[in-house]
Chains A and B, each alone.
Chain A
């Protein structure tokens, strides 16, 4: 503000203060709008998801009333139940009241467990969350360095070994690995716990807070139970981790090969930068955003619940729950689980969007 110099000092200061203030205000409005947009897109996506699951639920040739009252009920009982369940009303109206119920945390009753679906979900989802999270951590911590190493030593024996491991991860069936794992590490060696989340002896000892046993046992201060839960979790989580590791390592390798042929990697070498930094600073940094997409998708896939692994390890997770619900025509449970899984996908997508902006300067502004 060159002109301000000629004026009275006070006016100049006041003017610059007003300007600074209005700039802060403009920035606040900007951030506020961005946040409102963010919330609005989530809300719209969620509404779309709810509509989709609701209408699919109405289209499938399953009669929820019949499933409720049984096929020997009289017509009067059937009609009464139908009215009680609100199914006599027009479908748009049913949808509105369904959304209202969902917003109030009411997903209806499950036919198979005879409990509110929301309570079932609060029980089963953390079990899957715990296993999937540990699995994806194993996948990232081992898979990413494996992929980078393979790319950096392209064509060497190390690369061959890593690619073979990746191929195994793709082609070995989950149930086979689960059974063999149980046979060796549980039945023979006794290194890990068996099926289930915890020994029967400890069942019901831990008050559920988060629903994740590793955390709840620590909150309760029960170290023995904690280690018992770990011993049960380690095998299924490692197997899940192995599958995501195979995928992550393979993708990392191909992203890195692409990066290592870029001009700016040569620039780094010209500068005399040590090879370790050439790889991790110059080649790896730009692929982080691509990796986040890969990892997010694979994590979301794990959170959907691996039915095979959950069945073999008698894991009371959402994959198991959803499968049972489907087989029993338990529509409330199916819709509830679908909504939860959909919400997981929406959340993870939004999370990776945010990470994009943090990690890539080109995505900002």
Chain B
């Protein structure tokens, strides 16, 4: 079976005043039509991995890899111009905070319609019908009203559902969700993830869910990668997370409070030595 995504030895480098720094250090992964979770703390390189797949790392950042292929297409040799046919249409990405990731001066309807019109030639009424249907599928009850709203007029949860609608409307094969619920209230996080999960599963898409929340990733993904300082330190099935081997993963798990326990202090990482805890 051919994989949806194959990454071999991916490195992302940024120049700094103290010489180049690798934020992603030669990671390899492959993905079928499944749900993969990438977890890690801030700066572990998980978001950069997501952006590198879409070739969104802009100069002066550099991306190197032995292999970066999507559905048999070699993304490494694709020029910017050809990448546009893949972005949105084949691989899409939901970003963290709808407050910043939706354009403040374009109406919701226009932004979703743009995602459709970029990849398909449809009449205005077809575009409108498709937009409305998509908004309905992310459980927005009154799509006609929402079409004419601007991003500052909608709540965070609604904004993220609009974002999901916009990213899924061209029916991509792979969705990268980069911390899709970190900016949202806890009460709507599950709602938004359920919507992503439903759409991804029903359409048989691949999903990469990037998050720092181990529990959340464990309950929505089939497989989990744990990243730290640009490297993958652990890979396991989501239901085997409790049996994780790597000390870092164990540390992460141990630092989560549980409601049925009675610990005074939560353990923290010892970072002074620079070695892995």
A residues apposed to B, CB below 8 Å: 262-264, 266-275, 281-282, 285-286, 359-362
Contact = CB atoms under 8 A, between A and B. Distances in A.
Contact of A264 (B103, B115, B150, B170): B103
Give the bracket for the number of chain B residues in contact with chain A.
Answer: 20 to 34
Contact of A263 (B80, B89, B95, B114): B95
Nearest to B91: A270
B118 interface: yes
Nearest to A273: B118
A361 B97 CA distance: 20
Interface of B: 54, 56, 80, 84-89, 92-93, 95-97, 100-107, 114-115, 118-119, 150, 152, 163, 166-167, 170
A48 B172 CA distance: 62
A362 B150 contact: yes
A270 B167 contact: yes
Contact of B103 (A267, A269, A275, A359): A267
Contacts of A266: 56, 95, 101
A273 B102 contact: no
Given A263-B95, A263-B100, A361-B152, A270 B105 contact: no
A348 B250 CA distance: 65
Contacts of B101: 263-264, 266-267
Contacts of A281: 106, 114
Q: Which of A262, A271, A274 has the most CB of B within 10 A?
A: A271
A270 B56 contact: yes
A92 to B, nearest CB: 49
A281 B106 CA distance: 9
B105 A361 contact: yes
Contacts of B150: 361-362
B106 A285 contact: yes
Contacts of B54: 270
A309 to B, nearest CB: 37
Contacts of A273: 84, 88, 114, 118
B87 A272 contact: yes
Nearest to A289: B105
B87 A271 contact: yes
B105 A272 contact: no
Q: Which of B85, B103, B152 has the most CB of A within 10 A?
A: B103
Contacts of A286: 103-105
A259 to B, nearest CB: 10
Contact of A285 (B85, B95, B105, B170): B105
Nearest to A278: B84
B118 A272 contact: yes
A269 to B, nearest CB: 6
Contacts of A270: 54, 56, 87-88, 92-93, 95, 167
